């Protein structure tokens, strides 16, 4: 997707970054064993992208409706904050923005399906992954070139770093 001047400005003003988990950090597939244990696939280089955003001191949160322990394990490994088993993502997002004293217009949310609608409708920079459900296509200001679980998180992070006003201070 072409980055217009308006979109570059949105990326440059980000003060808070939130993501859904399933379908964004993962490829939206779940593998289930005979014992009922679930596993998912994540993109390793997302962690490097997240570490670059951390250098900008931008809070990063995962807000997920999923209650699988894999959400916690992956977020802990990446060193990012998370809330899972969340029925009302928008209320949680507003609470986090208040906690960090961030304006919703300077926040970004990346999602992939209809349970992300309210957040996508309200944030300053609504982002969806390339393979998002078609029902949310019209809500995004940016749609990643990469699919969920296939580098979409890294793509978002790289754009935040590239366009952020503080980027000149860090060489990545």
Domain locations in the chain as residue ranges: 5-164
Q: Is the pLDDT of residue 45 over 90?
A: yes
Give the β-pairing of 38-39 and 31-32.
antiparallel
Least confident of 13-22, 29-38, 82-91: 29-38
Q: Is the pLDDT of residue 64 over 80?
A: yes
**So what's the pLDDT on residue 169?**
44
Q: How confident is the model at residue 165 (pLDDT cuts 50, 70, 90)?
A: low
> What distance in Å separates the CA atoms of residue 59 and residue 65, rounded to the nearest whole number?
20
Mean pLDDT of 61-67: 95
- Integer-rounded Cα radius of gyration of the chain: 15
Residue in the structure block whose two tokens are 């670059």? 52
Q: Are 94 and 51 in contact (CB under 8 A)?
A: no
Beta-carbon contacts of residue 18 (< 8 Å; ≥ 6 apart) = 60, 61, 62, 63, 93, 96, 107, 108, 109, 110, 119, 123
For 43, what's the count of Cα atoms within 13 Å in the CB-facing half-sphere? Answer: 23
Element (DSSP H or E) covering residue 93: helix 89-100
**So what's the pLDDT on residue 167?**
44
Q: Is the pLDDT of residue 171 over 70?
A: no
**pTM, to two decimals:** 0.93
pLDDT tens profile 91-147: 999 999 999 999 999 999 999 999 999 999 999 999 999 999 999 999 999 999 999
For the domain made up of 5-164, give the CATH fold.
Rossmann fold (3.40.50)
> What distance in Å separates the CA atoms of residue 163 and residue 7, rounded to the nearest whole number?
9
> What distance in Å separates the CA atoms of residue 63 and residue 84, rounded to the nearest whole number?
6
| Average model confidence (pLDDT) across the chain | 93
> What distance in Å separates the CA atoms of residue 136 and residue 156, rounded to the nearest whole number?
18
Mean pLDDT of 45-64: 97
**So what's the pLDDT on residue 2?**
86
Q: Is the pLDDT of residue 172 over 50?
A: no
């Amino acid at each position: 997707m072409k980055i217009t001047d308006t979109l570059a400005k949105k990326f440059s003003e980000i003060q808070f970054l939130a993501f859904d988990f399933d379908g964004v950090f993962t490829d939206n597939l779940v593998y289930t064993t005979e014992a009922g244990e679930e596993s998912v696939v994540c993109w390793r280089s997302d962690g490097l992208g997240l570490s670059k955003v951390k250098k900008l001191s931008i809070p990063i949160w995962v807000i997920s409706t999923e209650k699988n322990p894999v959400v916690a394990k992956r977020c802990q490994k990446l060193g990012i904050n998370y809330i899972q088993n969340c029925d009302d993502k928008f209320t949680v997002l507003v609470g986090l923005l208040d906690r960090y004293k961030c304006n919703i217009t300077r926040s970004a949310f990346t999602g992939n399906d209809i349970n992300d609608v309210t957040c996508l409708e309200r944030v300053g920079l609504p982002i969806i992954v390339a393979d998002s459900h078609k029902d949310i296509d019209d809500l995004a200001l940016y749609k990643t070139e990469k699919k969920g679980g296939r580098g979409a998180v890294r793509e978002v992070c790289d754009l935040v770093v590239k366009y952020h006003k503080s980027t000149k201070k860090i060489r990545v």
